[in-house]
Amino acid sequence: MLIKKTNHDELFARGIGIKAGFGIKTVLALSLLFCLLLVPSLIIPNLWAEEERPPIYFKFIGNEAFRFSDGKMTLFSDFPYQSGAYGYMEYEYDFAAEKGPVVSLITHRHLDHFDPERFIELEWKIIGPKEVTERHSRLKVIPLKPEINFANLKITPRVTDHSNTEHLSYLVEWWGKKFYFTGDANEADSLKDLPELDILFISPRFYHSAQKANMLPKAGKVIIYHHETGEIVPGCKGCIIPEQGEEFIVK
Ligand SMILES: [Zn+2]
């Protein structure tokens, strides 16, 4: 029962800690216990995995902003942004109601993706390019690395191009699900070598150019973002074009 509440990372972290601090007998006994706990997970990975993975709920706020939650923590893509910036989508949000650990995953500094003034007032963590994070408290910034591990999130940033900004696209792996956020990137090459995704988040413009270049990654679902309200995306069969406030669940 205990192992179902414990994830791989915690187990490995404990294994390393034990070697450093205990006698050899304790190490052997605990290593044996570790193996006994690990073996069933290898034999029946699906059974274990299914029970351990909570569903992920998410909701479209506007532009490229979604709120994701696994019930333990909250992840936002490109939020908080400045409502109505450059004529894009407006929104209202009850920031005070947002409790618990929150991470903002920001692609670039443009105000329709990130509002630094608003962010300063929030006790949230942030992942983003340097020109987005440098003016914020070090305590709030999760440092950029080729692979960022935070709680149960694994985030792999990709440096991508967007009109003279430092721009990052992100592969996010959470509870075995893989999401890719293109942001405002628009170069088909940046989609190279992605794993098979559960959800691809992509703008209408990039969807078209990537489709034309035959570079769209395999994805269980394509969700269009940074669209206009009511926009139709021709050729995007089975795509979801979310409305503001629309909610989803991934199991
Ligand atoms: Zn934008």
Q: Read off the CATH number of the domain in which 94 is found.
A: 3.60.15.10
Of all residues in the chain, what percent carry a pLDDT higher than 90?
A: 76
Asked if residue 77 and residue 167 are part of one domain, the reply reads yes
C-alpha 50 to ligand 1 mean position (Å): 36
Asked if residue 112 and residue 17 are part of one domain, the reply reads no
C-alpha 67 to ligand 1 mean position (Å): 17
Asked if residue 82 and residue 15 are part of one domain, the reply reads no
Asked if residue 70 and residue 45 are part of one domain, the reply reads no
Q: Determine the structural domain holding residue 41 and report its residue range.
A: 2-50
Asked if residue 163 and residue 114 are part of one domain, the reply reads yes
Asked if residue 168 and residue 73 are part of one domain, the reply reads yes
Q: What is the pLDDT of residue 52?
A: 79
C-alpha 29 to ligand 1 mean position (Å): 55
Q: How many domains does the chain have?
A: 2
Instruction: State phi, psi for 162 to the nearest 5 degrees.
Output: -160, 110
C-alpha 194 to ligand 1 mean position (Å): 23
pTM exceeding 0.85: no
C-alpha 137 to ligand 1 mean position (Å): 25
C-alpha 39 to ligand 1 mean position (Å): 47
Distance CA 69, CA 93 (A): 16
When pLDDT is cut at 50, 70 and 90, the band that residue 19 belongs to is: very low
Q: Mean pLDDT lowest for which of 4-8, 125-129, 174-178? A: 4-8
- Residue that the structure tokens 């709120």 belong to: 67
| Residue 136 burial class via C-beta count within 10 angstroms: exposed 0-12, middle 13-18, buried 19 and up | middle
C-alpha 159 to ligand 1 mean position (Å): 16
pLDDT score of 8 more than 80: no
Distance CA 3, CA 7 (A): 7
Q: What is the pLDDT of residue 46?
A: 52
At which of 29, 50, 71 does a domain end? 50
C-alpha 89 to ligand 1 mean position (Å): 10
C-alpha 162 to ligand 1 mean position (Å): 9
Asked if residue 105 and residue 17 are part of one domain, the reply reads no
C-alpha 171 to ligand 1 mean position (Å): 18
At which of 27, 50, 73 does a domain end? 50
Asked if residue 14 and residue 65 are part of one domain, the reply reads no
User: Stretch 104-114: mean pLDDT, rounded?
Assistant: 98
